[in-house]
Amino acid sequence: MTTFADIGDRLAALAVEVPSWAYGNSGTRFKVFGSPGTPRSVEEKIADAAQVHRFTGLAPSVALHIPWDRVDDFGKLRAHAEDLGVRLGTVNSNTFQDDDYKLGSLTHADPAVRRKAVEHNLECLEIMTETGSRDLKIWLADGTNYPGQGDIRARQDWLAEGLAAIYAELGEGQRLVLEYKFFEPAFYHTDVPDWGTSYVHVAALGDQAMVCLDTGHHAPGTNIEFIVAQLLRLGKLGSFDFNSRFYADDDLMVGAADPFQLFRILVEVIRGGGFQPAGPDHREGVAFMLDQCHNIERKIPGQIRSVLTVQEMMARALLLDGDALAAAREQGDVLAANEVYMDAFYTDVRRDLAGWREARGLPADPMRSYLASGYQEQIEADRVGGAQAGWN
Q: Is the pLDDT of residue 392 over 70?
A: no
180: nearest Cα among 166, 159, 165: 159
Domain ranges in the chain are 14-303
For the CA atoms of 255, 258, 262, 264, what is the dihedral angle to 10 degrees? 160
pLDDT (0 to 100) of residue 277: 67
How far is CA 280 from its chain centroid? 21
- The C-alpha atoms of residue 158 and residue 259 are separated, in whole angstroms, by 39
Evaluate whether 160 touches 204 at the Cβ level (below 8 Å).
yes
Would you state the pLDDT for residue 280? Answer: 53
Q: Tell me: pLDDT of 15 over 70.
A: yes
The pLDDT score that the predictor gives to residue 28 is: 82
> Per-residue pLDDT for 278 more than 70?
no
State pLDDT tens for residues 315-356. 999 999 999 999 999 999 999 999 999 999 999 999 999 999
Q: How many helices (H) and strands (E) does the chain have?
A: 14, 10
Q: pLDDT tens digit string along 31-79? A: 888 899 999 999 999 999 999 999 999 999 999 999 999 999 999 999 9
pTM for the structure as a whole: 0.96
Structure confidence by residue, pLDDT tens digits, 161-174: 999 999 999 999 99
**What is the assigned CATH class of domain 14-303?**
alpha beta
Q: How far is CA 5 from the centre of its chain?
A: 29
Average pLDDT, the chain: 95
Predicted local confidence at residue 248, as pLDDT? 86
Confidence band, pLDDT 50/70/90 cuts, at residue 281:
low
List, in sequence order, the alpha helices (H) in 287-349.
299-318, 322-330, 334-345
- In single-letter form, the type of residue at position 105 comes to S
Residue-level pLDDT at 290 = 98
Question: CA-CA distance, 129 to 139, in Å (whole number)?
Answer: 20
Residue 223 clears pLDDT 60, i.e. is over it:
yes
Rounded Cα distance, 365 and 367, in Å: 6
The DSSP bridge partners found for residue 214 are: 241
Q: Are 294 and 22 in contact (CB under 8 A)?
A: yes
Nearest C-alpha neighbor of 195 from the set 144, 146, 264, 241: 241
Spatial distance between the Cα atoms of 246 and 57, rounded to a whole number of angstroms: 29
